[in-house]
Every structure is written in structure tokens, then in C-alpha cells.
Amino acid sequence: MPNAPSTMASGGIDPIRYVENRVVLIDQTRIPETTTYLEIDRCEQMADAIKTMVVRGAPAIGVAAAYGMYLGAREINTETREDFFAQLEEIAAQLRQTRPTAVNLFWAIDRQLQVARTATVPLAEIPALLLESAKTIQTEDVETCRAIGDNGLIALPSQPEKLTILTHCNAGALATAGYGTALGVIRSAWREGRLNRVFADETRPRLQGAKLTAWECVQEGIPVTVITDGMAAHCMKQGLIDVAIVGADRIAANGDAANKIGTYGLAVVAKAHNVPFFVAAPFSTVDFKLTTGSEIPIEERDSAEIYQVGETRICTPGAEFYNPAFDVTPAELIAGIITERGLIKPEDLSRFSP
């Protein structure tokens, strides 16, 4: 029996909105305790929001950076073209330094630079073009996610009729302009009556699964069970999981996919238990310049994310820490990449290179 689709354009949760000359972000560091919003009207604030993960998730930080380019451009005060573009490059550099792994960030910044460079309007009108372009990137992302969600339906095993889908981190509406990638497939499966429930890895250390994915599911009445990351193998062995679907931050031309730390381990245990493992991502996440996943830069974050939970220190002083935020899943562990252009085998991805 199909479930009622959400009546809201983006699946009900809009992490980024442009309202009265400002960008309004849901503060993702405070969910689920409270839903608060941060108003951003300067590029520096946007860079800070990306760095501190107020806005996070590959497509979402791309959209945020696109708006950041506009916010920076509208403050440029110069008469000369040369000076304008020198300052715009500085704004781009500031945004590029925020987070290294998700390629959508760089993709969106480059797209905005291209809009500005190819503009045939007076300098004073370029910021307005960048605003329109940021809005377009945002709208396109929601449409792309909806297409990914629906394309994912063909990837789903035909049996059982109602599937239990395991996901890692948050690849939902919050991580995109709305609807989500991996969670987009889950939303479409729910709408079509093909979903039994979601198993959400809690996703140490930032807990995006426990905090964000579970919150999104509960908002829409999608049944969700949260497990710690180390429980996934056991759940698969118990036959509790029919399919695993995750998002991605950057995919190399050979289909190797970087995603939140723990994804690689999940893919290995999925293989060991014959659970199909899919990556759902838009083409803006594919970096055709990289031949393999070993070239993907992996962000390392503050050790406090490991030794501290909330305000409480959980580990003895004297220990050392290593905190890579992402890992790379080799293409051979991925059954298919669910994109806005359909389901693609990792080995076929390079055929789509522009």
C-alpha cells in the first residue's frame, strides 16, 4: 500500500533558504535537541557555517558555497574588472578552504566563477546573476535528488516486498537542498510501499545517523531503528538487512567512492553477507579528474570529536587520536551508483565523463 507523498517541494525539510537578502540555514549542529536557524549575510559567515558543520553533506555545502559566492560578490566595491575578479577569486579561495573532501563544494564555486567570467552585463549586475545561479543550483539539486530517489527503486531487490534498508551518516534532505540521495531512495521506497524500516548507523564520531537521519525519518513517520556502527555486521548476519544504501562526498572516475568514515567497513561486511551495497549520488559528486579513489583528499578533524561526547571527556589524557572524517569504498564493493541519470555500474561511470 503506497504511503502519502510529502506535500512539500523538498520532502518537507529545507536546510537552506534565501529570505529577504539573507541565507537562512537550519543549524544542523543542534538537531535533534532544537530546530534553530542561522541567518547568514556575509561570505565569511557562510565559510564558518560550512567549516563548523552548521550546514554539512556534500550537495548542501555546494549549494551553501554557491550562495557564499553571491554574498561575497555583493560586497565587492570596485570599478575595475580586474580588481573585481581578483576579489572574487579571494572569496572563492576562502570558501574552498572550508572542507576538502566533498567535491560539490568546488564544483559549485567553479560554476559560480564561470557565471561571473562569462557574464556580458556591467560589473554591478554580476552579483544578481550569482544569486540567480545559486537559486538554480539549489532547485536543480532538489530535482536531482527526486530523480535519484525514484531511479533507486529499480536497484532495490524484488524480495521481500517490504525492505529493511541500512544507511550510514546522513544523506537526507539536510545533506542536500532537500529530499536527499540515499535517504531520497528511502523516501521513494516508502512512498511506493516498498519500505519496512530504515536501520541508521549512529555514525561516530559526529553522530549524523543518530542525530540527523533518525530525526528526518521520525519527522515523516518512516520507521527507523538506530544502531551503533559496530552492530551492522551482526544485524546483517541475523538477516535483518536487505540492502545498504549510502551517499557519497566524492566519486572517482573508476567508481571508488568517498563517504563518511565507516562506509568502507560497512561495504566490506555487506559483501561478506551478500547484502547489496549501493551508493546514491548526483553527478556533481563525481570527480572525473581523479582516476581512482586514492587521489581523493580525506579531511582530518579535531581529536575532540573522538575523546569527547558532548561536554564530557570519555578518554584518558595521554592517549593519541586519529580522526579521518571520510573513507573510500573501492568500486568492486559497490553494486551500483544510483544517479539522476539512472543506475550505473561503477565500471561504466567513466563513459559519462564530460
Region near ligand MRU per CB under 6 A, out of 35-43, 241-249, 270-278, 328-336:
241-249
> Is residue 259 close enough to count as binding ligand MRU by CB under 6 A?
yes
Q: How many residues bind ligand MRU (CB under 6 A)?
A: 17
> Is residue 194 close enough to count as binding ligand MRU by CB under 6 A?
no
Binding ligand MRU by CB under 6 A: which of 57, 68, 293, 336? Answer: 57
Percentages helix, strand, coil for the chain, rounded to the nearest 5? 45, 20, 40
Closest CB 244 distance from ligand MRU, rounded Å? 13
249 in active site: yes
Closest CB 21 distance from ligand MRU, rounded Å? 27
> Is residue 147 close enough to count as binding ligand MRU by CB under 6 A?
no
CA proximity to 129, closest of 186, 70, 42, 78:
70
Closest CB 171 distance from ligand MRU, rounded Å? 4
> Is residue 260 close enough to count as binding ligand MRU by CB under 6 A?
yes
Region near ligand MRU per CB under 6 A, out of 17-25, 50-58, 63-71, 133-141:
50-58
Site string for ligand MRU, 201-220 (x = CB under 6 A): -------x------------
C-alpha cell at 242: 536487505
Report long-range pairs for 99-102 (Cβ below 8 Å, ≥24 apart).
Answer: 99/50, 99/51, 99/61, 99/299, 100/297, 100/298, 100/299, 101/249, 101/250, 101/258, 101/296, 101/297, 101/298, 101/299, 101/325, 101/326, 102/57, 102/58, 102/61, 102/62, 102/249, 102/250, 102/285
Alpha-carbon Rg for the chain, nearest whole angstrom, is: 20
Closest CB 170 distance from ligand MRU, rounded Å? 6
Centroid of chain to Cα 53 = 12
Place of cell 519527522: 219
- Tell me the residue type at 83: D
Closest CB 209 distance from ligand MRU, rounded Å? 10
**Minimum CB distance to ligand MRU smaller for 151 or for 176:** 176
Measured in residues, the chain has a length of 354
**Minimum CB distance to ligand MRU smaller for 59 or for 255:** 59
> Is residue 349 close enough to count as binding ligand MRU by CB under 6 A?
no
Q: Give the residue closest to ligand MRU by C-beta.
A: 247
The Cα–Cα gap between 198 and 173 comes to 15
Closest CB 166 distance from ligand MRU, rounded Å? 13
Closest CB 250 distance from ligand MRU, rounded Å? 9
Task: Tell me if 257 sits within 8 A of 248, measured CB to CB.
Answer: yes
> Is residue 58 close enough to count as binding ligand MRU by CB under 6 A?
yes
> Is residue 103 close enough to count as binding ligand MRU by CB under 6 A?
no
**Minimum CB distance to ligand MRU smaller for 35 or for 114:** 35
The Cα–Cα gap between 310 and 260 comes to 20
- The string of DSSP codes covering 102-137 is -HHHHHHHHHHHHHHHT--S-GGGHHHHHHHHHHHH
The answer for 146, left when phi > 0, alpha when psi is -120 to 50, beta otherwise, is alpha
Candidates 249, 256, 287, 327; catalytic one: 249
> Is residue 59 close enough to count as binding ligand MRU by CB under 6 A?
yes
Residues facing 24 on adjacent strands: 17, 39
Site string for ligand MRU, 164-193 (x = CB under 6 A): -----x-x---xx----x------------
**Minimum CB distance to ligand MRU smaller for 242 or for 327:** 327
**Minimum CB distance to ligand MRU smaller for 192 or for 299:** 299
Kind plus residue range of the DSSP H or E element containing 199: strand 195-201
Give the interface with ligand MRU as residue ranges (CB under 6 A): 56-59, 102, 169, 171, 175-176, 181, 208, 247-249, 259-260, 325
- Kindly list the catalytic residues: 249
